[in-house]
Amino acid sequence: MRVFCASVATETNTFSPLRTDFADFAQSFYAPPGEHPETPTLCSAVFPALRKRANAGEVELIEGTATWAEPGGLVNARTWDRLREEVLDQLRAALPVEAVVLGLHGAMIADGCVDCEGTLLEAVRDIVGPAVTIGVTFDPHSHLSDKRVKNADIITVFKEFPHTDFVETGEACVDLTLRAARGEIIPQISVFDVRMMDVLPTSRHPMRGFVDKMMALEADGSALSISTIHGFMAGDSPDLGAKIIVISNGDKPAGTQLARELGLELFSFRGTTKPEFLTVEDALTSATSASTGPVIIADVWDNPGGGVAGDSTILLQAALDTNVANMALGTIWDPMAVRLCHAAGEGAEFDLRFGGKTSAHAGAPIDATVTVLKVATDAVQSFGDSIVPLGDCAVIDVNGINVVLNSNRSQTFSPDLFTNLGIDIAAKQVVAVKSTNHFHGAFAPVAADILYAAVNGPYPNDPTTTPYTRLTRPLWPIVEAPHEEALA
C-alpha cells in the first residue's frame, strides 16, 4: 500500500500584533521530504507512526514536507501559497497512492484564506479522487469546518489539554486510516456543534472525567474514535467553538446520536471548567507566603502558544515592585536583549532594556541593571517526545529574579527550559511560566502548588467582548442559550 504523508501547521491568532511568514516556519521547524527527525513535533507525529509501519513492510511511505510555525498572527498569502502548493506538488508526484495522512493543526488562517486546512484537504481530495482514504490529525484548539469533514475519512484530535497524547493521536490516525484503506472498517464521521467557546483543561474535572469517558467508549467498541474540538477563541473563524466528532464503523445514526449526547454533556460544563484565575497581586502574595516552593504561576494570557509575543512585563514588574526574590521567570521573548547579553558575556553587569516591545497592552519595557548569569546558543526544551527550539537564550538576574530571555518564541512546556540553562527551580520559591496549561503535565510533579494568573494583554480572552467579524452561529457565552436560538 502506497501512503503519502505531510504536515503543515500553525495556530493563527487573528487579533495578534504579530504576522507569520515563511521565516517563522523555517525558524521553528521545517523538514523537506525524508528529513523529518526521529522525534515527532506536536503536529507531525504521523511521520514516525508511518515509518514504523513502513519498516515493518506494511506500507510504502512517500514523505512530503513537514513544517510548523510557532503560533502567531495572520499568515501572509505568499507563505500559505508556497506551503500549500509545495505539498500538493509532492502528492501529485507520489501518485498513485491508496492513502494520504496529514498532520495539521486546524487553526491556521492566512490572508485571503479563512479555512486553510479545509482548503488543503479539498485540494488533496480533488487530486486523489473519492476512492483514496484521507486521514488527518488536529489540535483541539482549532476550527472544524464542513469542508474538512466532507473531504476526510478519518479525523483524530488530541484528547488531552495539555496535549500529552499527541503521539498516540498520530498513531490512532495512522491505524484507522490504514484499516479503512484495506476495507477492514467503514468509517462514518458524525459531528455535533456544541455551540460553546470555553477553556477546557483536561488536567482537572469535569474535563478529566469527560476524556476518560471518551476513551472508555472507544475501548468498548461504541465508536472507532471520539474527539473533542475545543475551539480557539483568538481566531476569527466562522467555525469558532467546541464540536464533538464521533467516527462509527458503518453506523452513522448511532454515531450521530452519540455525538449529540456527548456534545450536550460538554455544553452542561460551560463556565465550570477553567481553573481559578487570580490577579497578579494575589498570585504573587499566595506564592511568596507559601510554606514551601516552588510555587508555579502561569501567566496564562501572555502565552506564545496562543499566538502572542510572550514579551509582557506586567507580572515581572509587579514582582519587582513588591520586592519578590528567589524567583525564576521563563520566558520573555526579546532577540535584541539576548544579543546584547551574548555580547556582554556571562558575569557581565550592565544596564539593559528588555520586554514590552510588541504591544501597547503588555506592559512597558523594563530598564534595569542586570547580571548575565548564562548565555546559550540553540537552546531547547522538551514537550513529551518533542524537542522545542528556543533559539539563542540568556539568563539574567534582576534584583534576585532569574529571567530567561529567548530569541525563538515559545511557551513554557517543561522544567528543563530552566534546568538546561542552569536554573535550579527546586531551590526557587516562585517560578513564573508563560503558558495556559501545556506546562502542567511536566511541572505538576515538582510543584508545591500551581496558580493561574489572568494578566490582561493582547490575547482576546473574553468571547463576549472580542470583535469577531465572521461568526454567524449563536455561541455561548455570547448567547446564553445558543441551542434554543439555533432552533428558533
3-state secondary structure 128-171: HCCCCEEEEEECCCCCCCHHHHHHCCEEEECCCCCCCCHHHHHH
Is 484 a domain residue?
no
Looking at the structure, tell me whether residues 111 and 256 fall in a common domain.
Answer: yes
pLDDT score for 458? 84
- CA distance linking residue 170 with residue 165, whole number of Å: 9
Looking at the structure, tell me whether residues 31 and 165 fall in a common domain.
Answer: yes
Looking at the structure, tell me whether residues 369 and 282 fall in a common domain.
Answer: yes
Number of domains in the chain: 2
Looking at the structure, tell me whether residues 434 and 373 fall in a common domain.
Answer: yes
The Cβ of residue 422 has, within 10 Å, a number of other Cβ atoms equal to: 12
Looking at the structure, tell me whether residues 173 and 89 fall in a common domain.
Answer: yes
Looking at the structure, tell me whether residues 205 and 60 fall in a common domain.
Answer: yes
Q: Which three cell numbers stand for residue 161?
A: 489539554
Answer with the one of 267, 302, 332 that is the final residue of a domain: 267
Q: What is the distance between the terminal CA atoms of the chain, rounded to a whole angstrom?
A: 49
Is 476 a domain residue?
no
Looking at the structure, tell me whether residues 239 and 316 fall in a common domain.
Answer: no
Model confidence over 62-75: pLDDT tens digits? Answer: 999 999 999 999 99
- CA distance linking residue 203 with residue 220, whole number of Å: 23
Model confidence over 219-271: pLDDT tens digits? Answer: 999 999 999 999 999 999 999 999 999 999 999 999 999 999 999 999 999 99
Answer with the one of 267, 287, 305 that is the final residue of a domain: 267
Is 138 a domain residue?
yes
pLDDT score for 98? 98
Looking at the structure, tell me whether residues 446 and 379 fall in a common domain.
Answer: yes
The Cβ of residue 462 has, within 10 Å, a number of other Cβ atoms equal to: 11
pLDDT score for 485? 74
Looking at the structure, tell me whether residues 314 and 233 fall in a common domain.
Answer: no
Looking at the structure, tell me whether residues 183 and 247 fall in a common domain.
Answer: yes
Is 307 a domain residue?
yes
pLDDT score for 335? 97
> 0.85 cut: is pTM over it?
yes
pLDDT score for 269? 98
Looking at the structure, tell me whether residues 374 and 259 fall in a common domain.
Answer: no
Backbone dihedral angles phi then psi of residue 36, each to the nearest 5 degrees? -65, 135
- CA distance linking residue 412 with residue 438, whole number of Å: 8
- Segments forming the whole domain that contains residue 371: 277-453
Q: Which residues of the chain have pLDDT under 70?
A: 486-488
Answer with the one of 267, 297, 312 that is the final residue of a domain: 267
pLDDT score for 488? 62
Please list, in sequence order, all residues whose beta carbon lies within 8 angstroms of the beta carbon of residue 408, skipping any fewer than 6 positions away: 27, 28, 70, 389, 390, 391
Checking DSSP bridges between strand 327-333 and strand 430-433, what pairing results, if any?
Answer: parallel
* DSSP result, 327-370: EEEEEEE-HHHHHHHHHH-TT-EEEEEES--S-TTS-PPEEEEE
Looking at the structure, tell me whether residues 293 and 418 fall in a common domain.
Answer: yes
Is 330 a domain residue?
yes
